[in-house]
Each structure stands twice: as C-alpha cells, then as structure tokens.
C-alpha cells in the first residue's frame, strides 16, 4: 500500500483535503468508539470551570458525527459517563446530567434530519428521570433511521455490563428457556447492551491516558487502539482524519501470521 511509505511527518504537514484523499473509503472502520477524556484539563488550562470543558467537548461530538457521516462510517460509540464517574463531586455530576439533557433536546431535530439513530448502553435506570425521558424519546423517534448509529455509553461499566449479561443468562437457564449447549461467545454477546452492533474496529482515547477505564471490555477484544495526547475538546475533524489514516495503516491479524493475512 502506498499509504505505508508516507512517513508520519509528511502526514502531519498535509492539509485536510490531502488527508481526506489518503483515506480508502473501502476500508473504513464500521464502528468507532471514543473515550472522550481531557475536558477538565482543557478547562483548567484556560482557568475555566471543568464544566466549560464538558460543554466544549459537546462541540467535538457534533463535529465527529459530521465527519463520520461525510466519510460513511456507520456506527459511533461515545463514552460519556462511566459508572465510576458517579463518585465525582455532586455539582459536576449534576452539571453533566443537565448537559446531556440539553444536548438531546437540541439535537433531536438534527438527528432526524441527518437520518441518525440514537441509542445507549449502560445502566440507564440510574440516570435522573428527566434525562431518562429524553433518552427514551430520542431512541424511540430515531429508531428507524439508517445512516449512522449514535450510541452513548451512560452510567456504563464494562464489568457491570458483563455481570448483568451473566445474570440474565443464568435466569434464562434456570427457567429452561435456553440450554447449556447453546452458550457460545456469539450467544453470550446477545445478552450484552451492545447486541446488534458490530464490535468497534477502532477505539480512540484522547488526553494522553493509555488505559481502557472499564470501557467495552468484551467488545474491544480485537479492536485497534489509537491514543492521542489531544484533549477531547480539541479533537475535531483533522484529528479524526489522522486517526482513520493511522487505523488504515495497521495490519489486523486476528491471531494469524502476517503471511497468512497478506495471502488473503
Ligand atoms: C472526560 O473528561 C469527560 C468525563 C469523564 C465525563 P474529564 O472530565 O475526565 O477530564 P479530565 O480527565 O479531568 O481532564
Ligand atoms: C473515562 O474517563 C470515562 C469517560 C470518558 C466517560 P475518566 O476520566 O473517568 O477515566 P479515568 O478515571 O482517568 O481512568
Ligand atoms: Mg478524565
């Protein structure tokens, strides 16, 4: 691939149109997941309250959705609030919940116009009632939209998701709805929040932290990981194009040898 011979330095110097021309539309990731990290630091650098960083981060979400539609990516998952995030100061948690509600209120029309289907993963029952109502409304009204799946992870934890799946499965087994022999990896995955969604091909974490933070533990088994120092509020179109180019230069081997992969 001619992509391989272009050095990182050259890519960094290209303008957005040149970057776009490097992207192979036939080999796009179907599903991209994001750990949107660094909002607090972005705000602190500007002597602003943390919530200003979250607010600016929403602009990044809007822009990433736009560029993903432009490219033809079919599904996005955003880690917006983890189970562990409930332990943050109450003022921050409340402000985040209000922002979520406001986002859904203002974006629903746009989602309909752009053929976006909204859905969530996580323990949605733990969210405040008013946020939940907007989530249900958005999910319901956009359910037949086809262009892009916009999946928000809210009160989400990977271990919690797997534990909840195990409980549901155990219940079905106890009630004789399923048999032990039926339980395969594919079968188990149907009990996860993400059933119906392909596993992410690419996972991007911003802000320089190289960890998973309890995100999609099952689903990331063979996902390509892209870590960038850029803080989430600064992660915009150009950063996304660079991440896709990085992804397309990887060789996904799934346990095979390089020779086997290249022979296919
Ligand atoms: C990510 O940004 C957003 C959420 C976790 C809700 P942070 O709020 O974690 O920002 P930093 O890591 O403190 O900079
Ligand atoms: C991960 O970010 C969760 C979200 C982006 C919603 P955190 O900032 O909470 O992660 P840690 O605690 O630094 O690992
Ligand atoms: Mg953080």
Q: Is the CB of 152 under 6 A from ligand 1?
A: no
pLDDT confidence of residue 264: 78
Contacts of the segment 254-257: beta carbons below 8 A, 24+ positions apart:
254/222
How does residue 5 score in pLDDT terms, banded at 50, 70 and 90?
low
Would 14 be classed as within a structural domain? no
Catalytic residues: 37, 85
Would 136 be classed as within a structural domain? yes
Would 207 be classed as within a structural domain? yes
Of the ranges 1-5, 58-62, 106-110, 222-226, which one carries the lowest mean pLDDT score? 1-5
Q: How far apart are CA 114 and CA 195, in angstroms?
A: 24
Would 238 be classed as within a structural domain? yes
Nearest CA to 77 among 227, 236, 254, 220?
Answer: 220
User: For strand 202-205 and strand 116-121, is the pairing parallel, antiparallel, or unpaired?
Assistant: unpaired
pLDDT confidence of residue 260: 95
How does residue 2 score in pLDDT terms, banded at 50, 70 and 90?
low
Atom of ligand 1 nearest to the CA of 54: 3
Residue nearest atom 10 in ligand 2 by C-alpha distance: 213
| Closest ligand by atom to 84 CA | 2
Q: Is the CB of 209 under 6 A from ligand 2?
A: yes
Whether the CB-CB separation of 45 and 234 falls below 8 Å is answered with no
Domain of 68 in residue numbering reads as 26-157+200-250
Atom of ligand 2 nearest to the CA of 156: 6
| Substitution site in 44, 48, 52, 53 for ligand 1 pocket (most atoms within 8 Å of beta carbon) | 53
Tokens at 150, concatenated: 């916009």
Nearest CA to 127 among 196, 161, 80, 78?
Answer: 80
CATH code of 119's domain? 3.40.1180.10
Atom of ligand 2 nearest to the CA of 40: 8
Nearest CA to 30 among 221, 203, 188?
Answer: 203
Q: How far is CA 228 from the centre of its chain?
A: 15
Tokens at 209, concatenated: 């932290």
Would 263 be classed as within a structural domain? no
pTM listed for this prediction: 0.96
Q: Is the CB of 36 under 6 A from ligand 1?
A: yes
Whether the CB-CB separation of 51 and 44 falls below 8 Å is answered with no
Q: Is the CB of 213 under 6 A from ligand 2?
A: yes
Q: Please, where are the H alpha helices in 88-194?
A: 90-113, 129-141, 158-174, 185-189
Q: Is the CB of 38 under 6 A from ligand 1?
A: yes
Over residues 24-50, the pLDDT tens digits come to 999 999 999 999 999 999 999 999 999
Rounded to 5 degrees, what are φ and ψ at 35? Answer: -100, 105
Atom of ligand 2 nearest to the CA of 79: 6
Over residues 214-259, the pLDDT tens digits come to 999 999 999 999 999 999 999 999 999 999 999 999 999 999 999 9
Over residues 91-150, the pLDDT tens digits come to 999 999 999 999 999 999 999 999 999 999 999 999 999 999 999 999 999 999 999 999
Distance 168 CA to ligand 1 centre (A): 32
Would 165 be classed as within a structural domain? no
pLDDT confidence of residue 41: 98
Would 192 be classed as within a structural domain? no
Distance 208 CA to ligand 1 centre (A): 12
Q: Is the CB of 39 under 6 A from ligand 1?
A: yes
| Whether residue 3 has pLDDT greater than 70 | no
Q: How far apart are CA 61 and CA 99, in angstroms?
A: 13
Would 16 be classed as within a structural domain? no
| Closest ligand by atom to 83 CA | 2
- Give the count of domains, the chain: 1
Q: Is the CB of 36 under 6 A from ligand 2?
A: yes
């Amino acid at each position: 691939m001619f992509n391989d011979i272009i050095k990182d330095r050259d890519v960094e110097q290209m303008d957005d149109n040149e970057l776009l021309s490097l992207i192979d539309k036939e080999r796009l990731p179907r599903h991209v997941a994001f750990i949107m990290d660094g909002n607090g630091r972005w705000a602190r650098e500007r002597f602003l309250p943390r919530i200003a960083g979250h607010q600016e981060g929403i602009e990044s979400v809007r822009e990433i959705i736009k560029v993903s539609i432009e490219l033809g990516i079919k599904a996005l998952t955003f880690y917006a609030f983890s189970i562990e995030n409930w332990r943050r100061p109450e003022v921050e948690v409340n402000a985040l919940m209000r922002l979520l509600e406001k986002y859904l209120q203002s974006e629903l029309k746009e989602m309909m116009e752009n053929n976006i289907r909204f859905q969530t993963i996580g323990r949605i029952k733990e969210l405040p009632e008013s946020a939940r109502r907007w989530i249900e409304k958005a999910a319901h009204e956009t359910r037949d939209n086809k262009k892009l799946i916009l999946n928000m992870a809210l009160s989400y934890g990977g271990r919690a998701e797997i534990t909840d799946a195990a409980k549901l499965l155990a219940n079905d087994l106890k009630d004789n709805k399923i048999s032990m022999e039926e339980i395969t990896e594919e079968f188990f995955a149907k009990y996860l929040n993400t059933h119906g969604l392909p596993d992410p091909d690419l996972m991007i974490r911003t802000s320089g932290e190289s960890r998973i933070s309890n995100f999609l533990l099952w689903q990331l088994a063979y996902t390509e990981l892209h870590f960038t120092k850029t803080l989430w509020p600064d992660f915009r179109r150009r950063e996304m194009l660079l991440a896709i180019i990085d992804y397309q230069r990887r060789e996904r081997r799934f346990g095979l040898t390089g020779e086997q992969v290249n022979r296919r």
